[in-house]
Amino acid sequence: DGVVYAELRRPCRVLILVNPHSGRGQALQLFSAHVQTMLTEAGVPYTLVITEHQNHARELARKADLSQWDALVIMSGDGLLFEVINGLMEREDWQQAIQVPLGILPGGSGNALAASIHHYSQSPPAWNEELLLSCGFMLCKGLVGSLDLVSVQLASRQRLYSFLSLAWGFVADVDIESEKYRHVGPIRFLMGTLVRLASLRVYQGRLAYLPVRDARRPPKAGRRSDPEPPEGGARTRTPAPAPAAPLLPALDQPVPDSWTVVREQEFVLVLAVYQSHLAEDLWTAPGAAADDGLIHLFYVTAGVSRPALLRLFLAMEKGGHLACGCPHLVYERVRALRLEPVTPQGMITVDGEVVEYGPVQAQIHPGLARLICG
């Protein structure tokens, strides 16, 4: 489909980070049982590091001598990759660091990126060990494509880098509340959804976004290997502290006229995703690609009935939610967005991790990172 891939050099040196507590706490056993032999037979030498605490992977990514590694691979859920990406972006040499090919092996309870890259490879749906084998096989093949990142600005001015999602309301609540069912594996999201439906909440807030004028236009040739120019230009001597986010005004300033402003109202959920899958059985953004340069923005407004909301989530398994004819569901392709919660308490997540609650805005950086896929 015209995707331009590079190949990992051979033999390549891979650093694999395993979170022993992710999912049902079996990531290490799953690695030994299904991936180890495959990598050895494919002649892919690797070094295994078992994370010892939260943010361990983030520190490793921030401090690692990256000249030693051809790829950084995580065997966990999406949370560990979020740590690695943010560790890389905190480095002075982030412009080079974020170019190190990243890989994912599903070992967690939330394996959205693994499910997405499996889907992009045009293979029939797979779950559990089969999904792991598919991702292990992609790692052996070593094809590298581009990955969009989204920078997220919080009210405290903290900046985060996200590869998957920004969620408020129902989806964020389910993601965090269902952590206590982590031991059941990926089905925790369905359990969480049923529990949350019983106590359905609405959230008052404001939403605005920069729509994509013509999302059907094919991306420009060469874009996949051309990350956007960083702040201050690539040739300046002092390293840029972070990539520029030219689409975003200051968080306390109004959004530009080119943005669409949704009237203040009650929402059941606001969900921005930039990969096809939000979980192994949630095909959320059917048209999404790893580097389509798009934020797929969904929101559901108050007034949706419980059965209608449940139907949407059940239809999502086969990507059929947009065809449900639900008048409360809105879908837009955007480049940037701003969310201002008015309800004083609630949950906002980035890539499934809780962040500070309050106004938040985000913009896409097409192809800023690189991903082993295909």
Question: How far apart (Å, rounded) are the C-alpha atoms in residues 23 and 188?
Answer: 10
Choose between 56 and 141: whose C-beta lies nearer to ligand ADP: 56
Annotate 304-329 with b (16+ C-beta within 10 A) or e (fewer).
beeebbebbbebbeebebbeeebebb
Smallest Cα–Cα separation from 100: which of 141, 75, 76, 68? 68
Residue 101: name its binding partner from Mg ion, ligand ADP, none (Cβ under 5 to 8 Å by kind). Answer: none
Site residues for ligand ADP per CB under 6 A: 19-23, 51-54, 56, 76-80, 83, 108-110, 182, 353
Question: How far apart (Å, rounded) are the C-alpha atoms in residues 52 and 45?
Answer: 23
The stretch among 76-84, 236-244, 323-331, 340-348 that binds Mg ion (CB under 5 A) is: 76-84
Question: How far apart (Å, rounded) are the C-alpha atoms in residues 13 and 360?
Answer: 38
Choose between 77 and 101: whose C-beta lies nearer to Mg ion: 77
Choose between 77 and 341: whose C-beta lies nearer to Mg ion: 77
Q: Is 79 in the site for Mg ion (CB under 5 A)?
A: yes
The stretch among 88-96, 102-110, 165-173, 220-228 that binds Mg ion (CB under 5 A) is: 102-110
> Taking the complex as a whole, how short is the minimal distance between the CB of residue 344 and Mg ion, in angstroms?
26
The one among 23, 77, 136, 192 contacting Mg ion by CB under 5 A: 77
Number of separate helices (H) and strands (E) present in the chain: 10, 17
β-partners of residue 116 are: none
Choose between 227 and 352: whose C-beta lies nearer to ligand ADP: 352
What sign for the dihedral angle of Cα 218, 163, 277, 361? negative
Residue 311: name its binding partner from ligand ADP, Mg ion, none (Cβ under 5 to 8 Å by kind). Answer: none
Choose between 113 and 294: whose C-beta lies nearer to ligand ADP: 113
**CB 131, CB 106: distance < 8 Å:** yes
> Taking the complex as a whole, how short is the minimal distance between the CB of residue 64 and Mg ion, in angstroms?
22
Q: Is 192 in the site for Mg ion (CB under 5 A)?
A: no
> Taking the complex as a whole, how short is the minimal distance between the CB of residue 181 and ligand ADP, in angstroms?
11
> Taking the complex as a whole, how short is the minimal distance between the CB of residue 108 and Mg ion, in angstroms?
6
The one among 87, 103, 107, 110 contacting Mg ion by CB under 5 A: 110
Question: How far apart (Å, rounded) are the C-alpha atoms in residues 85 and 98?
Answer: 7
Question: How far apart (Å, rounded) are the C-alpha atoms in residues 138 and 133?
Answer: 9
> Taking the complex as a whole, how short is the minimal distance between the CB of residue 196 and Mg ion, in angstroms?
17
> Taking the complex as a whole, how short is the minimal distance between the CB of residue 358 and ligand ADP, in angstroms?
21
Q: Is 291 a catalytic residue?
A: no
Give the number of other CB atoms < 10 A from CB of residue 252.
7
- Report which secondary-structure segment, H or E, holds 308: helix 306-315
Which of the following is catalytic: 1, 65, 78, 291? 78
Residue 146: name its binding partner from Mg ion, ligand ADP, none (Cβ under 5 to 8 Å by kind). Answer: none
Annotate 36-72 with b (16+ C-beta within 10 A) or e (fewer).
eeebeeeebebeeeebeeeebbbebbbebebeebbbb
Q: Is 87 in the site for Mg ion (CB under 5 A)?
A: no
Residue 205: name its binding partner from ligand ADP, Mg ion, none (Cβ under 5 to 8 Å by kind). Answer: none
The one among 106, 185, 352, 366 contacting Mg ion by CB under 5 A: 352
The stretch among 69-77, 159-167, 226-234, 282-290 that binds Mg ion (CB under 5 A) is: 69-77
> Taking the complex as a whole, how short is the minimal distance between the CB of residue 301 and Mg ion, in angstroms?
28
Question: How far apart (Å, rounded) are the C-alpha atoms in residues 3 and 99?
Answer: 18
The residue to which tokens 């996200």 are assigned = 162
**CB 61, CB 92: distance < 8 Å:** no
Q: Looking at the annotation, which residues are catalytic?
A: 78
Interface with Mg ion (CB under 5 A) = 77, 79, 110, 352
